[in-house]
Amino acid sequence: MAFNPNNYKAPEAKKLPVILLLDVSGSMSGAKIDSLYDATIDMIETFAAAQAKEQIIDVAIITFGDSVDLHTRYTPVKDLQAKGISKFKASGMTPMGTALRMAKDMIDDKNETPSRIYRPAVVLVSDGAPNDDWKGPMDKFINDGRSAKCQRFAVAIGNDADRSVLERFIQDPNAVLFAEDAKDISEQFKTISMSISTMATAPNSNSVPTPSTAPKYDNNIANDDDDDLY
């Protein structure tokens, strides 16, 4: 076989997608929406500082309130640091089921969420109860297709948050993080950030320590011999 220098390529960095599903309903207005935005910026800073050279953390943000929007498409955290993210606006109700359908479609679409990556981390944040059909979309997210293999985190904001809904998403009643008020949102985001960052930088993803306050999850990375996700 003739020598071809083009056959020798350095391995590409694996990506770790993080999807934030953020409740921006009217009840989040005021201090809570400001704290949620600040906590998101802090999370991006933590990811940027922690990611290793051989890994890239991409963050996407889906907001649900007056509408369900892909606020931020998958973007490397270094780029988000450089250009920032637009402010969140609180209004409307809580269409969580629609947000879950959007997130699942993103993950199941190989053009949007490619194969041979780390298991995506999905963070669901809410201060109330869904007002749309959410049980079917949530069950499909948890049990069907590529989204079934995601790491899942949840944060309940305030005493009005429907913890039973978030517990169903996590599948562990003890793993839902609680922010009593606006000032606590950042602390709970730090817990999640450290869990995800630890996975991203661990030399052996099968032995990543998980904080006792965070959900348990499988840290296996993608199999290079598999043409599907993870």
Predicted pLDDT of residue 200: 62
Angle made by CA atoms 131, 163, 218, in degrees to the nearest 5: 110
Q: In the chain, pLDDT over 90 holds for what percent of residues?
A: 70
Query: What domains, with CATH codes, occur in the chain?
Result: 19-204 (3.40.50.410)
Predicted pLDDT of residue 6: 86
**How far apart are alpha carbons 133 and 119 in whole angstroms?**
27
pLDDT band at residue 198 under the 50/70/90 scheme: confident
What phi and psi values does residue 73 have, to the nearest 5 degrees?
-70, 165
Please say if the pLDDT value at position 212 is more than 80: no
Could you write out the three-class secondary structure of 157-186?
ECCCCCHHHHHHHHCCCCCCEEECCHHHHH
- Mean predicted lDDT score pLDDT of the chain: 87
Residues 33-73 pLDDT 10s = 999 999 999 999 999 988 766 678 999 999 999 999 999 99
DSSP reduced 3-state for 196 = helix
Q: By mean pLDDT, which of 18-22, 199-203, 211-215 is the weakest?
A: 211-215
